[in-house]
Amino acid sequence: MTSQPLRITIWNEFVHEREDPVVGKLYPDGIHGAIAASLREKLGEAAEVSTATQDQPEHGLSAEKLAATDVLYWWGHAAHNDVSDEVVDRVQQRVLEGMGLVVLHSAHDSKIFKRLLGTRCSLRWREVGERERLWITAPGHPLVSGLPSEYIELPHAEMYGEYFDIPQPDDVIFISWFEGGEVFRSGCTFTRGAGKIFYFRPGHETYPIYYDPNIQQVLANAAMWARPSGVTYVGECRNPQESLSPIEKRD
Amino acid sequence: MTSQPLRITIWNEFVHEREDPVVGKLYPDGIHGAIAASLREKLGEAAEVSTATQDQPEHGLSAEKLAATDVLYWWGHAAHNDVSDEVVDRVQQRVLEGMGLVVLHSAHDSKIFKRLLGTRCSLRWREVGERERLWITAPGHPLVSGLPSEYIELPHAEMYGEYFDIPQPDDVIFISWFEGGEVFRSGCTFTRGAGKIFYFRPGHETYPIYYDPNIQQVLANAAMWARPSGVTYVGECRNPQESLSPIEKRD
Amino acid sequence: MTSQPLRITIWNEFVHEREDPVVGKLYPDGIHGAIAASLREKLGEAAEVSTATQDQPEHGLSAEKLAATDVLYWWGHAAHNDVSDEVVDRVQQRVLEGMGLVVLHSAHDSKIFKRLLGTRCSLRWREVGERERLWITAPGHPLVSGLPSEYIELPHAEMYGEYFDIPQPDDVIFISWFEGGEVFRSGCTFTRGAGKIFYFRPGHETYPIYYDPNIQQVLANAAMWARPSGVTYVGECRNPQESLSPIEKRD
Amino acid sequence: MTSQPLRITIWNEFVHEREDPVVGKLYPDGIHGAIAASLREKLGEAAEVSTATQDQPEHGLSAEKLAATDVLYWWGHAAHNDVSDEVVDRVQQRVLEGMGLVVLHSAHDSKIFKRLLGTRCSLRWREVGERERLWITAPGHPLVSGLPSEYIELPHAEMYGEYFDIPQPDDVIFISWFEGGEVFRSGCTFTRGAGKIFYFRPGHETYPIYYDPNIQQVLANAAMWARPSGVTYVGECRNPQESLSPIEKRD
């Protein structure tokens, strides 16, 4: 039961860090850099972690790169509409084939997430730095391993509130409470084709959320949970005219 | 608790009936015509049933027509790719707002179904007229009211087999057994936004399936089940800066 | 499509109203009386509403009474353990056969709810009269018809918080926000056999919650949603030695 | 990310093997012995596999034994009603706390399975040795790793058919086709509390099914999938009168 290192790619639009000095100071290597460093530390030799950004050719997500990715993390906010449809097609196809996808925070509004879910993924939001408490609603799930028993708390967060326009998740892992009065399904899993998808709400660019130990624990759990498993995906229509079992002749 | 008549639109690409004499003889008024007649008989004054076809302007699905439709039935096979993306956008939006959608047989491969589900909706198939038995797996569901207790049977059917590449349904209503050796989730419900979706497998154009009393019963049940209910859909992102409950000032 | 009146039975342990003057003053006819009055007003001739209480012979739930009940509402708190196992067996059997069950507030800890769910149904709780806001997370569901679009609010409520130890619901209709910092899945649907179950959190005996118009609307919706439908329940093992389709002789 | 060996206990009622010479010859070390041998070979040092049988004191499932079990396999058929309720209580509690449970074949009718699911778990059945084909309906699931892409086949099997009276599974992994005309949800997952449950249909005592390489692969996958993870189970009601966030004083 030895296994190859998990091939993880952290994708980031990488806009706010270069345009907003507050964000740039908080994430000097980009949000992707902070997440990559955390995953490298937590997963060690079990994973090979690389990054890709929107300004690269093909957004850093060539067919070759995606074929060599087991789990893709996705952070975007300011430039969703500049992601090319061709790359979205390609990522969707790879998810259906079995690549894991971890969708972070404002990427609820990304083309790839809306493509895979079929809904608008709209929500309420408010940015005043209020308190958030993420209650665990699936205590036996691998995604919450290593966390405190009942909840994790963030002192300052952007608020996202219901109704969150998504199809029913496979599992709701966290439900957030916000100081200002809203709730939100902050950790949701989905399966599309052979691919596992995890949406995880925390991660606003103006707060040091990706340095929080509990958040880092969830991100590391996500890699292990979303890794490909199962059987070869049969995504084409198949037309075997020869039946497996005999068919009675009738008129 | 009196209510307005349910406004039902049966949409059909209406190609096979005009190109293939066998189909034309079986469905002289088109598949849409046969389904409309059956629904009118079964639902009586509870429904107003109209039809629309792909060859009409805007495929018969103008914004006005869709706004005046509570439940839309969709049959297509030969001309999926000729359906305009603009009409697909419009139907998707109306489903999210609450319009019911009943997706029939080969429309598993329609643009609108794949758009709403986010997967390829691919499957196995074989056309030799084998026996199909649809086992009821959700005996308390409104969709099976009026049927025999355990299963319904069709003497001749096109085979559709697993793996059917769809997200996990809300409920699996029927699982089909096929003589040649396959199984299929033949009745599946989904919710997207405020809209209810029912995929129902039977209905190949060369068999008299839409004249079968049990199939007609399911189609009538579907109208009642998929009708809009609930609250006004909030599909836009909302940004209420004023919080509902007070937020503690902190630094 | 005319139909018989829906036969509704409201069951209440009826203890607090007779032992605690505050509760007795709030609910002079018992919680069951208040709910029955509200359902009679809202459903009119569509329903026949009766009540039953724990102090009656067989707790008011004889085999005859249950056979003549389409939807049963259940409120209990102080005397869960005094409900006889025989009556619990009988109610469970009727739910599997298709009777609807609406489980209210502290009945999360009733024998019948734990019997049907298989888990402990435990939760966090605090009784200080804090504010509760129930966010709608299933906007197209019949259970929320007639409500405001986004949420309903109760100025004073007992708090119930996650982790709520229940199996994954079919649908989560409401998620509550509590002023003191917790969240809760306050409206949950389940199917067991042919029976539909709705758990609805609000309803503490010391607050006038069952007089709230929105709460009354949900209770009326619940009757219509949970009514029996579908096909005759096949709850026994069946052993048809004769196969439906021919079996090849092999050695 | 090193880990302790997984502690697996295979429980068997161990009746047929000692009473029926055909079964005794097929499974000379009991069904539990055959499964244990297969798991030891497949999982190697990743697991410590032991067995327990119904004739032992406390059915071999003392509190100490269960506390030292990560995943419990359960095979029973002839003696379900002789399993003591005390042991059933204990196993249920351990599942809620996070112990995995793999329920095999005729254990669909065991006390522990019905206790955890809340339904009758009844089904159709026929014992004529017909062909079974298990179609994979969740291609990305860890439970199907290492299998062929589309289906696995058993030349001779007892038939189990729908309607199978279970709550909606978390995932349906396999749907079986039977030669005689029925279908069955043959691989189903459930979560109860922090515990993962896998029901796996194949395994009749008169056929050599537990020697089939594909079946053995699924059984090994089940151990890894059902192992405890997540956080400490909070199964008691909790009553923190002190709120986490401040509550406004109102009258």
Mean per-residue pLDDT, B53-68: 98
Confidence band of B75 (pLDDT split at 50, 70, 90): very high
Confidence band of D180 (pLDDT split at 50, 70, 90): very high
Residue C141 to residue A215: CA distance in whole angstroms:
33
Q: CA Rg, chain A, in Å?
A: 19
Residue B127 to residue B156: CA distance in whole angstroms:
10
Question: In this predicted structure, what is the pLDDT of residue B143?
Answer: 98
DSSP C44: G
CATH 3.40.50.880 fits C6-119+187-226, yes or no: yes
Confidence band of A1 (pLDDT split at 50, 70, 90): very low
Residue D51 to residue D69: CA distance in whole angstroms:
11
A172-187: per-residue pLDDT in tens?
A: 999 999 999 999 999 9
Question: In this predicted structure, what is the pLDDT of residue C1?
Answer: 42
Closest chain C CA to residue A135: C162
Confidence band of A251 (pLDDT split at 50, 70, 90): low
B198-251: per-residue pLDDT in tens?
A: 999 999 999 999 999 999 999 999 999 999 999 999 999 999 989 999 998 766
Backbone angles phi, psi at C237, to 5 degrees: -65, 140
Instruction: List residues in chain C touching B: CB distance below 8 A.
Output: 1, 43-44, 46, 98, 131, 133, 136, 138-142, 144-150, 170-171, 179, 191, 193-196, 228-234, 244-245
Q: Following DSSP, what letter does each residue of C54-103 receive, concatenated?
A: TTSGGGG--HHHHHT-SEEEEE-SS-GGGS-HHHHHHHHHHHHHT-EEEE
Q: Is the Cβ pair B175, D168 closer than 8 Å?
A: no
Q: Is the Cβ pair B177, D182 closer than 8 Å?
A: yes
Asked whether the ipTM of the predicted complex exceeds the cut of 0.85, the reply is: yes
Q: Which residues of B touch D248 (CB under 8 A)?
A: 246
Mean per-residue pLDDT, B80-100: 98
CATH of domain A6-119+186-226: 3.40.50.880
Q: What residues have CB less than 8 Å from D208, skipping those under 6 apart?
A: D26
Residue B159 to residue B176: CA distance in whole angstroms:
9
Q: Is the Cβ pair A122, B235 closer than 8 Å?
A: yes
Question: In this predicted structure, what is the pLDDT of residue C251?
Answer: 61
Over chain C (251 residues), the average pLDDT of each successive run of 10 is 84 97 97 98 98 98 98 98 98 98 98 98 96 98 98 97 98 98 98 98 95 98 97 95 87 61
Among B153, B163, B190, B242, pick the best mutation site for testing chain A contact (most A Cβ within 10 A). B163
Structure tokens at B149: 């207790």
Instruction: Out of B139, B179, B245, name the one closest to residue C231 (CB).
Output: B139
Q: Which residues of D touch C239 (CB under 8 A)?
A: 124-126
Q: What are the beta bridge partners of residue D72?
A: D9, D101
Question: In this predicted structure, what is the pLDDT of residue A3?
Answer: 74
Residue with the two structure tokens 């100071």: A25
Question: In this predicted structure, what is the pLDDT of residue D1?
Answer: 42
Chain A partners (3+ C-beta pairs within 8 A): B, C, D
Among A156, A231, A245, pick the best mutation site for testing chain B contact (most B Cβ within 10 A). A245
In this structure, how many other beta carbons lie within 10 angstroms of the beta carbon of residue C37?
A: 16
Question: In this predicted structure, what is the pLDDT of residue B77?
Answer: 98
Question: In this predicted structure, what is the pLDDT of residue D251?
Answer: 61
- How do the domains of chain A map onto residue ranges? 6-119+186-226
Mean per-residue pLDDT, A225-237: 96
In chain B, the percentage of residues whose pLDDT exceeds 70 is 98
B166-208: per-residue pLDDT in tens?
A: 999 999 999 999 999 999 999 999 999 999 999 999 999 999 9
Q: Is the Cβ pair A109, B182 closer than 8 Å?
A: no
pTM: 0.98
Question: In this predicted structure, what is the pLDDT of residue D3?
Answer: 73
Structure tokens at C43: 């459903």
Looking at every residue in chain D, the average pLDDT score rounds to: 96
Q: Is the Cβ pair B133, D181 closer than 8 Å?
A: yes
CATH of domain D6-118+186-226: 3.40.50.880
Q: Which residues of D touch B133 (CB under 8 A)?
A: 181
Residue D185 to residue D134: CA distance in whole angstroms:
9
How close B32 comes to chain D (CA, Å)? 31
Q: Is the Cβ pair C243, D180 closer than 8 Å?
A: yes
Please, what sign has the CA dihedral across residues A108, A114, A115, A116? Answer: positive
Do residues B54 and B83 touch, judged by C-beta distance below 8 A?
Answer: yes
Helices D30-43 and D213-226 sit at what angle, rounded to 10 degrees? 70
Question: In this predicted structure, what is the pLDDT of residue B249?
Answer: 75
Q: Is the Cβ pair A130, B238 closer than 8 Å?
A: no
B107, B173, B166, B100: which is closest to B135 by C-alpha? B173
Exposed e or buried b for every residue in D83-115, given b needs 16+ CB within 10 A?
beeebbebbbbbbbbbbbbbbbbbbbbbbbbbb
Inter-chain CB pairs, B–D, below 8 Å:
54
Instruction: List residues in chain D touching B: CB distance below 8 A.
Output: 133, 135-137, 139, 150, 161-164, 168, 171-172, 175-178, 181-183, 185, 246, 248
